[in-house]
Amino acid sequence: MGTGANETARRGVIGLGSNLGDRLAYLRGAVSRLQAEPGLRLVATSGVYESPPMGPIAQADFLNAAVLIETTIAPRELLARCLAIEAEHGRVREVRWGPRTLDLDLLWVEGVTVEEPGLTLPHPGLAERAFVLRPLAELLPDLVLGDGRNARQAAEELHDDACVRLSGAHLGG
């Protein structure tokens, strides 16, 4: 799994989302691409959730999920690889919170805190967004969030009935 600079493997979570075209196919395509990345090992995938879009733009509902990985890739490089995978899947960045074929968000990397332009870890919306928190809680229920609650507690306390886990929808991996 080596990439050279830092050989210590860390766990991480990447959030996946899509609301254009064959949403589930885009999520599955992203999982396949992540599995092929040197320096990255897919550990687990969450269930798939459907939720309404955030922001002021009228658009289709999203499918969201998350993957737990182990990686030796530095966070900034991992983000760059995620952006490249988005582009391979037709992602166009024209409008903030606009529709997208694929959205990959680096949500958390074990032992890493970053606040830089374009990258904040842990992800700032981790504990407030059901479409992020519920898949995360499936993968790492005991992960302690910034407010001291673990992911499972935070997910249970989140009142968002619009974010629904889809039965029968699987990412593979």
Specify if 3 maps to a domain: no
Q: What is the CATH number of the domain that holds 57?
A: 3.30.70.560
Based on the residue annotation, tell me whether 61 is a catalytic residue of this protein.
no
Instruction: Give the range of the structural domain holding residue 115, as residue numbers without chain letter.
Output: 10-166
> How confident is the model over 27-51, as pLDDT tens digits?
999 999 999 999 999 999 999 999 9
Q: Does any domain span residue 171?
A: no
Q: Establish if 2 belongs to a structural domain.
A: no
Q: Are strands 62-71 and 164-166 parallel, antiparallel or unpaired?
A: unpaired
Which among 146, 166, 145, 171 has a CA at the least distance from the CA of 68? 171
Per the annotation, the verdict on 100 as an active-site residue is yes
Residue 1 lies in a domain: no
Q: Is residue 122 part of a domain?
A: yes
Domain count along the chain: 1
**Active site includes 149?**
no
Nearest alpha-carbon partner for 67 in 47, 90, 85, 87: 47
| Predicted TM-score (pTM) of this structure | 0.92
Asked if pLDDT for residue 11 goes beyond 50, the answer is yes
Q: Which of 33, 81, 105, 134 is catalytic?
A: 105
* Predicted local distance difference test score (pLDDT) of residue 97: 67
From the candidates 23, 28, 91, 129, give the one annotated as an active-site residue. 91
Please identify which of the residues 23, 28, 33, 100 carries the catalytic annotation.
100
Backbone angles phi, psi at 7, to 5 degrees: -90, 0
- Residue 151, domain member (yes or no): yes
Least Cα distance to 146 among 120, 118, 116, 117 occurs for 120
pLDDT interval class at 160 (50, 70, 90): confident
Residue 17 lies in a domain: yes
Diameter of the chain by CA atoms? 45
In a domain, 45, yes or no: yes
Is there a catalytic annotation at residue 160? no
Of the candidates 23, 103, 129, 134, the residue annotated as catalytic is 103
